[in-house]
Chain A
Amino acid sequence: MTTQVLETLDLAIGYRRRTKGDIRLAHGLNLELQRGTLVGLLGSNGVGKSTLLRTLAGRQKPLAGRVLLAGQDLATLSPMALARRLSIVLTLAPQPRLMNGYALVAMGRHPHSDWLGRLSADDHETVAWAIKAVGADDLADLPQAELSDGQRQKLMIARALAQEADIMLLDEPTAYLDLPRRVETMQLLKQLARSAARAILVSTHDLDLALRSCDQLWLMSDAGIITGAPEDLVLDGGLGKTFSAAGITFDKRIGSFVLDPPAGPRVRVLGEGEPVLWLCRALERSGFTVCGDAADLEVAHRQNGAADTWDLRLNGRASAHATIQSVLDALESEPIWQTR
């Protein structure tokens, strides 16, 4: 069994216009998706992630080149044949009225059922399996209207799974979800890629989450798409370059983008551990530059029994503070800001 299920040959994507020439978002794309892998599609807003997904899903014609699904040209497949090979999940989960979760997931069987959409015993088994696989057993018999965004999206993923297509394309499925739900969804997708042997391509703006859960990243920028393992892309600077913008830098140590340090008053921080890490963040947030060689401003952390104490030394004067807020307040009232 080959593992490659999707391949693009010199694909160019964009929009055709009758006058004024085509809008070409990317060209010369030679990409591939493998069974059992979760691929994250990252890129700035407007760079063409959705256009790429629409083109791969057969929703939009390529400007040039071809998309092959298991060796067969996408353009030659009938809608039904395509639906058996490729399923999608969109950002917004629909809220159909008067339909329970089970019926929603059962829609995924459409490409396999008869003209009335009747489900065979096998179809029912597949639907039940898909619901179980996403952990939505408790949602199956509830009306759609009573579910949260995250629960609905879970059912939409189950529906895509029940479609039994090798390829799953998801367009920012977690955009409207809270952080725990996003983590859960990405973990679920990673798990499904393995256990159900699907090739899953998910576009997301969640860089941190993508770095932690995807097997591969496609980084899309105006220059094209670069692919690779997330860690390789971090180390060779590809990730930093993709999202390069004035005022932010990719910090390879913590694996996320940070604001360029402002040129504020310099402060030395003494101590270690979590309290100090968060003190540094508070100081940076307030416009200070944390460095080791500041002479006239210093904050030291001291464990005082169970409580934290902060010793502030400013131009030779010393004061003790119980909270970070108190430290910040004390700094705010000093005239050091005039030196900015």
Chain B
Amino acid sequence: MSQLAGEPVHPATAVGNWRQSKPATLFSSREFAGARPHVLLIMLIALGALLLLSLALGSASIPFDQILRVLLSGEADQPAWTHIVLKFRLPKTLTAAFAGMALGVSGLLMQTYFRNPLAEPFVLGVSAGASLGVALVVLTTGVAGGALLAGLGLAGDLLMTAAAGIGAALTMLLVLLVAVRIQSIVSLLILGLMFGYLVAAMVSLLLYFALPERIQAYINWTFGSFSGVTNEQLPILAGLVLAGLLLSAALTKALNALLLGEDYARSLGANLQRTRIGIVLATALLVSAVTAFCGPIAFIGIAVPHLCRGLLASADHRLLLPGTCLAGACVALCASLIAELPGNNLVLPLNVVTALMGAPVVMLVVLRGAQGKL
């Protein structure tokens, strides 16, 4: 116990040591030693570049200066270019960015809360709830009559969005009710998974009895897409996502405390009940908004938080929350660009691209984790 020989004096009791409390610059302090906060800046620049790229690239080739002109003055040399940029590329680009942010952040919330590196927003059964809603609308309207049969047009799209949103929101409400009662994290995880199976079975049942063209419409929805959101719908998506992000930001400190486990988090003053509800609510807002407008988009939620921890070399949510936001948007924009490779009329399903990009990341994490364990 030699190190205790010179007893350190507690700062509060040391005479003349008192000084005005003022917050130090956030990321400069010793607790962030080893972390790479400057990566956030790089992510921000990358996001800016990808946003422009997403506006500039598409099946129609528009000169880049014309794109800038549309953005700055709202008018290009050719009306068709203005139309393409403002009506198609801008909403698609912003949708991809908002969806990426929402999925990245909700993935981070789930992984921290469940203390499980493989948790993702959909483990709570959100996508299952959304898909049931969509399946009910798409697969049963044919039975109900011809009124909505032609409704794979605008009305049908709106109905599907609403069905997915309601399905996802109802699922989250259910999870919320359970989360308030059930204290055990593992129980909640298992209930979410079981709920997912239950709903998947109901969807299968609906598919089994559905008309082939209806099944095709349902499967198209499950592919996911950023192109279905109109300029009129965009504010709704953006509003829900921003609300979810703000709520997540308010949970920053509790999320950090949860890194030490529930017992320690509680002993550090975290209100676990409130935190649990906050996490479920934020995830509900983020994921049901995205699923309603873009379909069940896989892998961004699970891969982006791992990517950010690696890039930022930190587990601190003050870095990870903005990090997953930026990286999520970047990854979604990348996926969207790859899915609609320019100079090519072929459009790949979004989920194919995200899974092809995301699965290797998850595999890498699992393999590296297995090495690090022993």
List chain A positions with a Cβ less than 8 A from chain B: 57, 59, 78-80, 82-84, 86-88, 90, 94, 96-100, 102-104, 106-108, 110-111, 113-126, 129, 132-133, 135, 137, 140-141, 143, 145, 163-164, 184, 187-188, 191, 195-196
- B:9-23 near A, CB below 8 Å: 9-12, 17, 19, 21-23
CB-based contact A114/B259 at 8 Å: no
> Min CB distance, A123 to chain B, in Å?
8
A-B contact count (CB 8 A): 137
Given A94-B261, A96-B260, A102-B30, are A184 and B19 also a contact pair (CB < 8 Å)? no
29 contacts between A and B (CB under 8 A): A57-B267, A59-B263, A78-B271, A79-B270, A79-B271, A83-B269, A90-B264, A94-B260, A96-B315, A97-B315, A99-B315, A100-B34, A104-B260, A110-B269, A114-B23, A115-B253, A117-B256, A119-B24, A120-B21, A120-B24, A121-B21, A129-B10, A135-B1, A137-B3, A141-B34, A145-B372, A164-B12, A187-B1, A187-B4
CB-based contact A88/B267 at 8 Å: yes
Complex CA–CA separation, A277 to B92 (angstroms): 85
Complex CA–CA separation, A99 to B319 (angstroms): 12
> Min CB distance, A93 to chain B, in Å?
9
> Min CB distance, B279 to chain A, in Å?
16
Given A90-B264, A96-B260, A129-B10, are A79 and B269 also a contact pair (CB < 8 Å)? yes
Complex CA–CA separation, A141 to B31 (angstroms): 8
Shortest Cβ-Cβ A-B pairs, 3 listed: A135-B3, A83-B269, A103-B31
Complex CA–CA separation, A119 to B30 (angstroms): 10
* Residues of chain A with a CB closer than 8 A to B33's CB: 100, 102, 141
Mask, B20-41, CB within 8 Å of A = 1, is: 0111101001111111000000
Which of B3, B23, B31 lies at the interface centre, i.e. has the most chain A CB atoms within 10 A of its CB? B31
Closest A residue to B262 by beta carbon equals A59
> Min CB distance, B221 to chain A, in Å?
37
CB-based contact A188/B21 at 8 Å: no
CB-based contact B372/A82 at 8 Å: no
> Min CB distance, B141 to chain A, in Å?
46
CB-based contact A82/B21 at 8 Å: no
CB-based contact B268/A119 at 8 Å: no
CB-based contact A124/B30 at 8 Å: yes
CB-based contact A132/B8 at 8 Å: yes
> Min CB distance, A143 to chain B, in Å?
7
CB-based contact B31/A106 at 8 Å: yes
CB-based contact B29/A188 at 8 Å: no
Complex CA–CA separation, A200 to B51 (angstroms): 57
CB-based contact A135/B4 at 8 Å: yes
Supplied contacts A79-B270, A126-B12, A133-B4, 4 more A-B pairs, CB within 8 Å: A83-B268, A97-B309, A107-B268, A187-B1
* Residues of chain A with a CB closer than 8 A to B309's CB: 97-98
Residue in A94, A97, A113, A126 whose beta carbon sits within 8 Å of that of B11 in the complex: A126
CB-based contact B267/A86 at 8 Å: yes
Instruction: Tell me whether B316 is interfacial, beta carbon within 8 Å.
Output: yes
CB-based contact A111/B22 at 8 Å: no
Instruction: Tell me whether B118 is interfacial, beta carbon within 8 Å.
Output: no
CB-based contact A98/B263 at 8 Å: no
Closest B residue to A194 by beta carbon equals B7
Instruction: Tell me whether B234 is interfacial, beta carbon within 8 Å.
Output: no
Closest A residue to B270 by beta carbon equals A79
Complex CA–CA separation, A96 to B32 (angstroms): 14
* Residues of chain B with a CB closer than 8 A to A86's CB: 267
Instruction: Tell me whether B257 is interfacial, beta carbon within 8 Å.
Output: yes
Instruction: Tell me whether B252 is interfacial, beta carbon within 8 Å.
Output: yes
* Residues of chain A with a CB closer than 8 A to B12's CB: 122, 126, 164
Instruction: Tell me whether B152 is interfacial, beta carbon within 8 Å.
Output: no
CB-based contact B264/A129 at 8 Å: no
Instruction: Tell me whether B250 is interfacial, beta carbon within 8 Å.
Output: yes
Complex CA–CA separation, A113 to B3 (angstroms): 29
Instruction: Tell me whether B314 is interfacial, beta carbon within 8 Å.
Output: yes
Instruction: Tell me whether B71 is interfacial, beta carbon within 8 Å.
Output: no
Complex CA–CA separation, A29 to B257 (angstroms): 32
Closest A residue to B8 by beta carbon equals A132
Complex CA–CA separation, A118 to B256 (angstroms): 12
> Min CB distance, A79 to chain B, in Å?
5
* Residues of chain A with a CB closer than 8 A to B89's CB: none
* Residues of chain A with a CB closer than 8 A to B8's CB: 129, 132-133
* Residues of chain A with a CB closer than 8 A to B7's CB: 133, 191, 195
* Residues of chain B with a CB closer than 8 A to A119's CB: 23-24, 29, 31
Closest B residue to A161 by beta carbon equals B10
CB-based contact B250/A115 at 8 Å: yes
CB-based contact A94/B29 at 8 Å: no
CB-based contact A98/B266 at 8 Å: no
Closest B residue to A113 by beta carbon equals B253
Complex CA–CA separation, A174 to B74 (angstroms): 69
Complex CA–CA separation, A196 to B252 (angstroms): 31
Which of B3, B267, B314 lies at the interface centre, i.e. has the most chain A CB atoms within 10 A of its CB? B267
Complex CA–CA separation, A143 to B313 (angstroms): 11
Closest A residue to B312 by beta carbon equals A98
CB-based contact A108/B22 at 8 Å: no
Given A79-B266, A96-B259, A103-B32, are A118 and B26 also a contact pair (CB < 8 Å)? yes
CB-based contact A117/B252 at 8 Å: yes
